[in-house]
Chain A
Amino acid sequence: MISIKGLYKQFGQLEVLKGINLEVKKGQVIVVIGPSGSGKTTMLRCLNVLETPTKGAISIEGQSLDFSKSVPKKSVASFRRLTGMVFQNYNLFPHKTALENVMEGPVIVKGEDKTTVRKKAQALLEKVGLGDKIDYYPAQLSGGQQQRVGIARALAMEPEVMLFDEPTSALDPELVGEVLKVMKDLALEGMTMIVVTHEMRFAREAADEVIFMDGGVIVERNKPEEIFTTPKEERTRKFLNMIQ
Chain B
Amino acid sequence: MKMYLNSIFADPERTARLVDIAKTSLWPLLEGAIMNTIPLTIISFIIGLILAVLTALARISHVKFLQIIARIYVSAIRGTPLLVQLFIIFYGLPNIGVTIDPFISAVIGFSLSVGAYASEIIRAAILSIPKGQWEAGYSIGMSYTQALKRIILPQAARVSLPPLSNSFISLVKDTSLASVVLVTEMFRRAQEITAANYEFLLVYSEAALIYWVICFFLSVLQGFMERRLDRYV
**A interface vs B, CB < 8 Å?**
48, 50, 73, 77-78, 80-81, 83-85, 87, 89, 91-96, 104-105, 108-110, 137-139, 153-154, 156-157
Smallest CB–CB gap between A240 and chain B, Å?
31
Partner of A91, one of B135, B142, B150, B158: B135
A89 touches B232 (CB 8 A): no
Indicate whether B201 reaches chain A with its CB closer than 8 angstroms: no
A93 touches B151 (CB 8 A): yes
Q: Which residues of B have CB within 8 Å of A108? A: 142, 146, 150
In contact, B133 and A93 (Cβ under 8 angstroms)? yes
How far does the alpha carbon of A198 sit from the alpha carbon of B150 in the complex, in Å?
A: 34
Total number of B residues with any Cβ neighbor in A under 8 Å? 20
Contact A87 B146 (CB under 8 A): no
Chain A proximity mask over B119-148: 1 for CB below 8 Å, otherwise 0: 000000000001011011011111100100
Q: Which residues of A contact B232 (CB under 8 A)?
A: 94-96, 137-139
A81 contacts which chain B residues (CB < 8 A)? 141
CB pair A77–B141 under 8 Å, yes or no, is yes
Residues of B close to A139: CB separation below 8 A: 232-233
Is B163 located at the chain interface by the 8 A CB criterion?
Answer: no
Task: Give the residue among B135, B140, B142, B151 with the most A Cβ atoms within 10 A.
Answer: B140
Q: Give the chain A neighbours of B223 by CB distance below 8 A.
A: none
Contact among B130, B140, B150, B151 with A157 in the assembled complex (CB-CB below 8 Å): B140
Known A-B contacts A95-B154, A95-B155, A95-B158; A89 and B132 likewise in contact (beta carbons under 8 Å): yes
- Which residue from B133, B138, B139, B142 sits with its C-beta under 8 Å from A84? B139
Residues 90-146 (chain B) with a chain A CB within 8 angstroms:
130, 132-133, 135-136, 138-143, 146
| Complex contacts, A110 vs chain B, CB 8 Å | 141
B171 to A: closest C-beta gap in Å: 27
The 5 closest A-B pairs by CB, nearest first: A105-B140, A91-B136, A85-B139, A137-B232, A91-B132
**Given the known A-B contacts A93-B151, A94-B233, A104-B150, are A80 and B138 also in contact in the complex, defined by CB atoms under 8 Å?**
yes
- Select one of A78, A87, A156 contacting B136, CB under 8 A: A87
Query: Given A108-B150, A137-B231, A139-B233, does the pair A92, B136 have CB atoms closer than 8 Å?
Result: yes
Which of A91, A92, A104, A157 has the most B CB atoms < 10 Å from its CB?
Answer: A91
Q: Return B64 CB to nearest CB of chain A, in Å.
A: 19
- CB within 8 Å for A104 and B141 given contacts A93-B133, A109-B146, A137-B232: no
Of all chain B residues, which has the CB nearest A85?
Answer: B139
